[in-house]
Chain A
Amino acid sequence: MRLELAGVTKRFGSLVANDHVDLTVEAGEIHCLLGENGAGKSTLMNVLFGLQRADEGEIRVDGAPVRFADPGDAIAHGIGMVHQHFMLVPVFTAADNVVLGFEPTRSGGFLDREKAREDIRRLSSEFGLEVDPDAVVEDLPVGLQQRVEILKALHRDANLLILDEPTAVLTPQETESLFAIMRGLKETGRSILFITHKLKEVLAVADRITVMRLGRVVGTTTPAGSGEHVLASMMVGRDVELVVHKDDAQPGSPVLQLEGLTVTDERGVTVIDAVDLEVRAGEIVALAGVQGNGQTELAEALLGLTQPSSGRILLDGKDITRATPREALRAGIAYIPEDRQAEGLVLDMSIADNLVLDVHDRPPFAHRGARDLTAVRESGEHKLQEFDIRARSAEVPVGTLSGGNQQKVVVARELSRPVRLLVASQPTRGLDVGSIEYVHRRIVEERDKGVAVLLVSSELDEILALGDRVAVMYRGAIVGVVPPTTGRDRIGLMMAGAGVPA
């Protein structure tokens, strides 16, 4: 199948998300769409899949213009999509998810679940995507959930498969096997549109590459015709430093010590399994692992958001295992949560209010239960300067800021207290390159001031660039702690559960 986009434009109010985008995907081609967060890739895909309607332009499938009123139309034209945030119903089985919308039925509208299972087994073996049809999706690891998502598209006979940032949740080895599946699909004559911001992957798998920036197509190239640096500067529009500059760490005394820390979630599942870990002053310990292996829960346990069932957490030698979040913050923990909008910010409140969320009831921001709004405002304006937050004033709602500036608000708040330990969970997720550089620089600066840093990230590049030591988590346990010079492949294997290299 051959897909053409011609002059596709999509506006949101005054913002132009896609500005006359042209793109052609040939039959049997793996075409990469490369761009940083906010470049307009996702909007383009939503238009292509019928989730949003273009304001201008045309989509052609095999030369014929098409109009997609909803995803059903796109599917009918042979387009399948694997969404970055999986479009799976968590409480359904894999089989129910795969057949949803195209259910095999017996007379009277009754589901034919046996046929559904058979379909899945057939597709699984055909494409090497093993999944238990009766497993409930929310119980599956993310890698398997992605398989269900791919099976769903294949079950509808997709000839063009859109993969939206599919490797974010995979180990390097799983990424390799995904690439193998993609190449296999290509052999069958299917086309693949692969959306990503990771340069290495583009070069590894693409036949052709289209680069987007600020809603426009910057150019189309091939892996042979470009290297990482060329692609990076096309994507960002300037020369980009691909490495973080930092000196060797000068580790001091241990700040954070975890001794046999175990956390059981509300369903009785052990999510943190007897973790021993030490983070010293002036070092960054990077916690690597595929998303969903306990990193989030570990960060939450440190902050007192969940109570461990056994083990101890020591901060500067003091036991804070049973501390409430308030006590943990007061003890000197700074916390950059992984989802800033859900856990870090109150979007409809002002920047100034968000900056004092943790200290709103202390002088100078409050006296005897009454807030001092002048002090809050002045402090807010000051922080705008200090942390380079781009906003008209500290009084605007934080929800109106860009993702990068929202994250700067979180960083500004958390680093405004006396900090002993910085827990940064996915601190650059979804940010543009400029903001990523900013956050990385800030983290290294904190380290150099003698703060102990625990960095949680599912981006291996970030782990290797920032970590002074790398701890790898798998199924709630620390598989091993290695220096960042350990090869990517070796760490990748550890992320899949293999032991420490001898």
Chain B
Amino acid sequence: MSTTEAPAPAPAPSTSRQPGRAERIARRVTEANLAVVTVLAVVLGLFVGAILIVVTTGQSFGGVGRAYGALFAGSIFSPSAVGHAISTGHGWSAAFTPLSETFVAATPLIFAGLGVAVGFSTGVFNIGGQGQVIAGAICATYVGFGVDLPVWIHLPLVVAAGAAGGAVAGFIPGLLKARTGAHEVIVTIMLNYVFLYLLSYLLVTAPLQQPGQSNSISRTVPQSGRLPHLFSGGLRVNGGFLLALAAVAGVWWLMQRSTLGFRFRVIGSNPLAGRAAGMDAKMATILVLTLSGALVGLAGMSTLAGTDFFLSTGYGGANGFNAITVALLGRNKPQGVLLGALLFGALTAGGRYMQAHTGVPFDLTAVIQAVIVFFVATPALVQEIFRLRSAPGEKKILLFTKGWAG
């Protein structure tokens, strides 16, 4: 990420007295800092969604209340289920199901969001998430049903295969960019379609196709290749979530503490200066796209080995694309990606519940997500709408990408 404005100079020291605690908090929540802008962006996203519901259903705002109530109940908790659990002492797993579903939906978004964020911080835009998710899932499936091993070897192999599949899918655009100058935005998008069609071919071909099936469905990963559930009682949240948390920590360490991450950031910010200091910009491009692809591949692995266990046409859905919005929402920081993924995971889990219980289509959440990211990408607009004060040191213009020439 680079900025066109140099960071603003530090504020002048206050003249008369130190402001009190309450006053400081009041200041913080009325200025256009990262947290305030993000929260207001979410509010605006929900507002646009509400308008859509009213316009398309002709219902009053009561309909919005029901839909958003379901969104909440499906993602955080449902008051009735919690009440039931408290009064009877039973049904605790039902009370925690919404949170569990949010974590399940967030898991692939964390992996994929990290992948995209790593790319952005090196000035590379990976829109190939869809293809890399599929590549990771295909490889994980092969290793999943293809070998018969004890779980402590089998599961790590499945995980590694997922990363490897995504890495290959990321390596291709990286190599092409470094060697021929082909822009990664075009190549990664094209690869999305290539992998989609590759998957649809493999699904009707041995050995991936489920024997005895004419449908496009793969064989199923056995128990030894699955990510274990974290809790008993049917909650679907699984080891993939813990792996994702580990990935957050790992990427943080890589970007902030390792020499490789330092090179990535230098190349991302000023490749010419990096080159003059002896860094290999082309190698960095190849490495970062490979790493980015590996992380996105893990997203495909995590859904496959965590909840789905078999492949079908168009596997991975919107996770690859949503990874971009998650990375933007998290401002390319691993911690931010985690929070962004949890938010979008909640929208996803809640959105499914909403569709099932109120009939409002799930796709509404995609609109809400897009609106949120619109505003996160233009903090100055949010600042104007809500008449916020400028935050000291906050960058007004966010640039993540470079033009075609980069």
Contacts and interface: CB of A to CB of B under 8 A. Distances in A.
Interface residues of B, number: 26
B278 A326 contact: yes
B262 A353 contact: yes
A294 B4 CA distance: 30
Contacts of A360: 259, 262-263
A303 B269 CA distance: 21
A358 B265 CA distance: 14
Contacts of B2: 348
Contact of A324 (B6, B272, B273, B278): B278
A337 B274 CA distance: 12
Interface bin, chain A = 20 to 34
B260 A358 contact: no
17 contacts: A324-B280, A325-B275, A325-B278, A325-B279, A326-B280, A337-B276, A346-B273, A346-B274, A347-B6, A348-B7, A357-B266, A358-B277, A369-B258, A370-B257, A371-B262, A400-B6, A400-B7
Interface of A: 13-14, 303, 305, 324-326, 328-330, 335, 337, 342-349, 353, 357-358, 360-361, 366, 369-371, 373, 397, 399-400
The 3 closest A-B pairs by CB, nearest first: A326-B278, A357-B277, A361-B259
Interface string B305-320: 0000000000000000
Contact of A397 (B7, B257, B274, B276): B7
B19 interface: no
Contacts of B62: none
A324 B281 CA distance: 12
A391 to B, nearest CB: 12
Contacts, number: 82
A371 B12 CA distance: 34
A303 B276 contact: yes
A138 B215 CA distance: 61
A343 B273 CA distance: 4
Nearest to B268: A346
Contact of B269 (A326, A335, A346): A346
Nearest to B1: A348
B270 interface: yes
Given A353-B262, A360-B262, A370-B257, 11 more contacts: A305-B276, A324-B280, A325-B276, A343-B273, A345-B270, A347-B270, A348-B2, A349-B269, A358-B278, A361-B263, A371-B258
B272 A366 contact: no
A373 B9 CA distance: 24
Contacts of B259: 360-361, 366, 369-371
A305 B273 contact: no
Contacts of B265: 346, 349
A305 B275 contact: yes
Contacts of A330: 278
A330 B276 CA distance: 12
B3 interface: yes
Given A357-B266, A399-B7, A344 B258 contact: no
B276 A343 contact: yes
A194 to B, nearest CB: 31
Nearest to A361: B259
Contacts of B274: 346, 357
A348 B398 CA distance: 13
A373 B273 CA distance: 21
Nearest to B262: A360
Nearest to B2: A348
Interface centre among A14, A305, A330, A361 (most CB of B within 10 A): A361
Contact of A345 (B7, B260, B273): B273
A411 to B, nearest CB: 14
A94 B336 CA distance: 51
Contact of A346 (B9, B12, B270): B270
A344 B275 CA distance: 10
A357 B273 contact: yes
B19 to A, nearest CB: 21
Nearest to A329: B278
Given A369-B259, A371-B257, A371-B262, A348 B276 contact: no
Nearest to B260: A369
Nearest to A362: B259
Nearest to A337: B276
Interface string B6-24: 1111001000000000000
A266 to B, nearest CB: 11
Interface centre among B9, B260, B265, B273 (most CB of A within 10 A): B273
Given A358-B278, A370-B259, A371-B259, A343 B266 contact: no
Contacts of A345: 270, 273
Interface centre among A303, A343, A344, A345 (most CB of B within 10 A): A343
A329 B277 contact: yes
Interface in B1-52: 2-3, 6-9, 12
B289 to A, nearest CB: 20
B60 to A, nearest CB: 49
Given A324-B278, A400-B9, A344 B262 contact: no
A13 B9 contact: yes
Contacts of A346: 265-266, 269-270, 273-274
Interface string B279-292: 11000000000000
B192 to A, nearest CB: 32
Contacts of A343: 272-273, 276
